[in-house]
Chain A
């Protein structure tokens, strides 16, 4: 079974990478982009028996740095 872990910077944490992407979009002539935040997607292929709390533990112990990042898990597929 697939589990997708979305890792995003917490609101308020400066995202220089997102800012650079934003500038590049503007440089390409795309207008109307108010803000860009860059994050990570990590796809796990796990046994069906893997519990939500197992995946949450993986996120807290390694996949996300909860000092600066939030995470969200989508299961299925």
Chain B
């Protein structure tokens, strides 16, 4: 599978994501700088990494969501290309409008950095076929703005359409309905605050993140 990782000034999980993708797919991803205006020919999957793009200026993800490469990512996502946004990448996806809602300051204002239990709410997606429905997995979070909020009707729609991919098993940051990860309506765009790329090898303390990329590889390739 030919993958690409978008790199913004201030991204800091881009290399972790690249290592995870290379381990799972056997092929190093293309690292695509934010000033590029096109994805490499034949890209089959795009990852928006965690970090603090543009220093979180204005709002987390706001500047990155207006960068030149993002127009290409939006076009590709609208054509059905699988896209994952992790942490800051999730914030970027909500800022582009590819995903609904917003990620606000954590309810207790603290930066949360620890492994958290997540419930797989929908295992029938491009990204979650490596998990069982309702399974509890352990993946680290590290964020200050992970408090997912959206209108009640939007939340109902997300839940009704099976678009909540992951839910925190217990409150982590004040997110509405403990939502940790959501999909767009066609199911090819996933945004999640937890970092699957940090749960790849036994030394990471959990390998539960690996199955996300393995599942994706199986469904896409």
Contact = CB atoms under 8 A, between A and B. Distances in A.
B95 interface: yes
B149 interface: yes
Interface string A57-72: 0000111010110000
Contacts of A13: 104, 149
B72 interface: no
A67 B109 contact: no
Q: How large is the interface on B (under 10, 10 to 19, 20 to 34, 35 or more residues)?
A: 10 to 19
B92 interface: no
B107 A16 contact: yes
B31 interface: no
B120 interface: no
Interface residues of A, number: 11
B187 interface: no
A20 interface: yes
B109 A17 contact: yes
A67 B101 contact: yes
B157 interface: no
A20 B58 CA distance: 20
Interface in A1-51: 13-14, 16-17, 20
B14 to A, nearest CB: 24
Contacts of B147: 14, 16
A16 B101 contact: no
Contacts of B108: 16
A13 B103 CA distance: 12
B106 A63 contact: no
A61 B95 CA distance: 10
B150 A20 contact: no
Given A62-B66, A67-B150, A68-B149, A14 B104 contact: yes
A36 to B, nearest CB: 13
B211 interface: no
B174 interface: yes
B55 to A, nearest CB: 15
Contacts of B104: 13-14, 16, 68
Contact of A68 (B66, B102, B107): B102
7 contacts: A13-B104, A14-B104, A16-B108, A16-B174, A17-B109, A61-B66, A62-B58
Given A14-B147, A16-B109, A67-B94, 10 more contacts: A13-B104, A13-B149, A14-B149, A16-B104, A16-B108, A16-B174, A17-B109, A65-B102, A67-B101, A68-B149
